[in-house]
Structure 1
Amino acid sequence: MLLCKRVYFVADMYLWKLLPRIQEDKMRLSKKKILVFSRMHITNFGDPIIADCCKYIIKKTAKENRYRVKVTMADVYEKDIAVTKKLLKGQKAVVFPGGGLNSVVFNNKLLEILKLIEEQKNTSVFFNAVGILKVKPRKKNEELLIKLFNHNQVKQVTTRGDYDQLLKYIQSPRVYPEKLVFDPAIWVNEAYEIEHSIDSEKIGIGVIRPEIFQSNGNDFSAEDVFQMYFNIVNELEAKGFAWEFFSNGMKEDYNFGVETLKRMGRSTKKYIGKNVKSSRELVEKIASYKAVIAARLHANIISTSLRVPSVALVWNDKMNLFAEIIGEEERYIGVEHLKDADYIVHQLELAIKNGYDEKKIDCMKNVTVETIKNIIIS
């Protein structure tokens, strides 16, 4: 009898040890539904790229860890509530994939979506790689960020930006800790299956609407922006580089590029051509360059993903925060040097010569993937 009890005890202990593995295998067998909210109709194609790449990383990570997932996309700007409710039905996780959270209007929209999610108590919410700036936001937006991040269904908040500032908005611990991670667009080379054209000799110059510098508190006028591009072009030509302008898709950026070329007496057909019409077209364009000088953050992130050497013309600290993550602060040029085209082009030449810190990029990719696993297993 004593022997039987001992056998039962050993068997129970064995089953108890097996239980986590049985539960994990059950999770792997069932297909988890995950919904990613995209800023689909923005013509600054950096934002749609964020969502596309977030979807890609989730699916890739799930496959590598033998989990089954069904990842679908929703438009964060969808006006028909019934459409959003239908998409939310049965979802185990909802992911806001990244990008800036600096707009009161946009953050109110996210709050509306969270209220719809409340109708499904078993849905977990993840804020992934959100853009948090070092500067304190307006009081109304600060209140919105606190509401969003501390919602009882939010399981994790990660940032591509200022980690210390993010912690100020987290008032109660989440299921998973806050982390500094990569913007999902760093995976765009894999997600779109596009490679850098190493034979290219042309420098891509990413243009931006000129008012953006002053509207972000920089002492740098619209005329200064024109002169900056004018001087960069002259310096590139003096050093024998071929070049052209490009935009991330925004009409205002593209129009300024056209206007600048006309003021310079240059052919718009030769030096800018038509504006890009899709995310893929933007990535293919950047992949076609030898190197890039650009003012938009995602032109530089896309360049990094493709290993196209890039130099950034900085108007906002989100660009410096990305530079810190990849360890290339000297290539992200602040207002104090933007009138010095020789300095800018010299940094470009150094970037072409030295490439990227692959170990640093791989390390942060690994950290980011660990946070993506939480979306899959939660």
Structure 2
Amino acid sequence: MNDELVPHRGRVVLCTLRYSDNLGDGVIGDCMEFLIKKQRPGFDVEHLDMAGRAGFSAPKESRLGYLRKILFYACPVPMRGTAFRLLWPLLFEKRMAHACGHAFRENVDALVFGGGQMLNDVALNFPLKFQYVAKYASQRRTSMAMAGVGVSSNWSKRGLDCFRGALSSPLFKYVSVRDERSRNTLTSYLESRTSEVAVTLDPAIWSSEAYKVVPREKSVDVLRVGFGIANPEELATQAQGENFSAASFDSFWLDVIDGVKSLNCKIVLFSNGAVEDDTYLRQFAAKLKSVRPDVLFEVLPRAERPHELVSQIAGMDVIVAHRLHANIIAYSCSVPSIALVWDAKVAGFCDMVGRSRWCYHSLTDGARVAADVEQAYKTGVDLDQQQKLKSICLSKIEDMLGAVGK
């Protein structure tokens, strides 16, 4: 398609969580850049991390970030928003100013907020950051757009004010979300934009192309089954009201592993790269070795860059995972996945791609999940549907670029 396009000149600032150690966010950023450049060869894409990070953290820095999260978990839920608001000018505002100043150091044609569960309000974290970046762009009269984001229904009054104020700007030219549920949620908050919110797919469904994934040669003898391990406490912080615990997750994964032992498979444990996930993964692996000494399994090293995570997932025959982007990357790479629903966004993606059959909602379903692993592999991914959905995603990127005049 690029061969038919005339090279364009332009500069876009792409605001994502690109340098998060939860590498699904980095995959989103890379795929958004890939799609913009696919439609506009010659465009310069400047990344702006919504948390103000300038690069991926070294392991030591990531562990310090995890310690800060532990302190955040210890704060009573009703007080978290107030605590974040008080800490904002001390810990975040200066860093955000520096990051925005760097991203906007040259002429910018458009600011694009790209992908992820960006319209989400956990203790005002995203509302304050989103508002700050949008205001920075508005002061420079820069056109803005939002592409393929997820929307949560947990907005506080202050969060609503932040998001609504930013999105109501006349400089905001285009809004698309990544599933129908997100559209319904957003339009319930922003009635004035009801007719303007488009539905697309998460940009990470282009992971395979963005990272030039070479399809794995499938084994007919031994299935390589990947279990994507996530930290239950981290998921509980984001999931509304869910009471996850290490004990309940341990029990679930042991049930799954007990169930697949009868298959001729290789068990592989991996995480999406977040330090909190990897910490729990190592703890569970130690427990697994202790309580199931007869089970042979492999623990993958923690991926430190998005391309490493994509490579790990693409190397599986089938995966079982909580994290949304483990499932999206797998889908892009034609690796069947069984999605473990801990938040509506996971079910929303499966609905969009026709894989609701392969969703499980309860931590008591371990044995049923295990029983479905072989069938999921045999059924595979509907490649015709996959290509249709990728084309829809690409067409919405074109619509977005047209809306901002590029």
TM-score band, normalised by the shorter chain? 0.7 to 0.9
List gaps (5 residues or longer) in structure 1: 1-26
SS of the residue 1:55 aligns to? helix
Identical-residue share of aligned pairs (%): 26
- For the residues of structure 1 that align with 2:373 and 2:125, how far apart are their CA atoms? 38
1:372, CA displacement in angstroms? 1.0
1:247, CA displacement in angstroms? 0.3
List gaps (5 residues or longer) in structure 2: 53-94
- Which of 68, 76, 91 aligns to 2:50? It is 76
SS of the residue 1:271 aligns to? strand
SS of the residue 2:391 aligns to? helix
SS of the residue 2:213 aligns to? coil
TM-score (norm 1): 0.83
- For the residues of structure 2 that align with 1:30 and 1:352, how far apart are their CA atoms? 42
Show the 5 A alignment for 1:300-339. 300-335=327-362, 338-339=363-364
Show the 5 A alignment for 1:279-318. 279-318=306-345
Contact 1:331 1:348 in 2 (8 A): no
Q: Tell me the residue number matched to 2:175.
A: 157
- Which of 192, 195, 205 aligns to 2:211? It is 192
Q: 2:356 matched to 1:351?
A: no
How many residue pairs get aligned? The number is 343
Q: 2:292 matched to 1:260?
A: no
Aligned residue type for 2:167: F
1:141, CA displacement in angstroms? 2.2
- For the residues of structure 2 that align with 1:237 and 1:359, how far apart are their CA atoms? 33
Q: 2:54 matched to 1:43?
A: no
Q: 2:205 matched to 1:231?
A: no
1:374, CA displacement in angstroms? 2.9
Contact 1:309 1:348 in 2 (8 A): no
Contact 2:18 2:28 in 1 (8 A): no
Q: 2:208 matched to 1:168?
A: no
Aligned residue type for 2:360: I
Q: 2:207 matched to 1:207?
A: no
- For the residues of structure 2 that align with 1:29 and 1:264, how far apart are their CA atoms? 54
Q: Tell me the residue number matched to 1:183.
A: 202
- For the residues of structure 2 that align with 1:269 and 1:71, how far apart are their CA atoms? 45
Aligned residue type for 1:349: E
- Which of 116, 125, 128 aligns to 1:105? It is 125
Structure 1 residues 38-95: Cα deviation after superposition (integer angstroms, max 9, x where no partner): 32331100001101100101111224xxxx5222222323316255235324111111
More displaced stretch, 93-102 vs 368-377? 368-377
TM-score (norm 2): 0.78
Contact 2:48 2:99 in 1 (8 A): no
Q: 2:147 matched to 1:120?
A: no
Q: Which has the larger radius of gyration?
A: 1
1:322, CA displacement in angstroms? 0.1
- For the residues of structure 2 that align with 1:320 and 1:313, how far apart are their CA atoms? 9
- For the residues of structure 2 that align with 1:29 and 1:221, how far apart are their CA atoms? 52
